[in-house]
Amino acid sequence: MAKAQAAAYCGLTPSGFSAWVKAGIVPGPIPGTQRYDRKAIDAALDRHSGIVAPAEPTSYDPLEEWLKERGHPAHSGAGRPLRR
């Protein structure tokens, strides 16, 4: 998003937004552009507010769990070649 949009998103004027960037509250523009990443702004504001980002979801693999319960080594997911 453009600087004016990023500032409005944060409820600031463009000069106020620049002050926040300079203070390290929000990140600067994406390198090589004059555009700002909304998700990066959200993450920075969450950190400054003390909000902990949720952990990335992990995929549950029932086969992996079954193997682990039975003491088998981790399954690579590649599988074995089919017998002919």
> How do residues 30-42 score in pLDDT, each as one tens digit?
999 999 999 999 9
pLDDT value of residue 15: 98
Please compute the mean of the pLDDT values over residues 17-24 and round it to a whole number: 97
* Under 8 Å between Cβ of 11 and 20: no
> pTM of the entire structure?
0.61
Task: Name the residue among 52, 32, 40 with its Cα closest to residue 20.
Answer: 40
* Under 8 Å between Cβ of 39 and 25: no
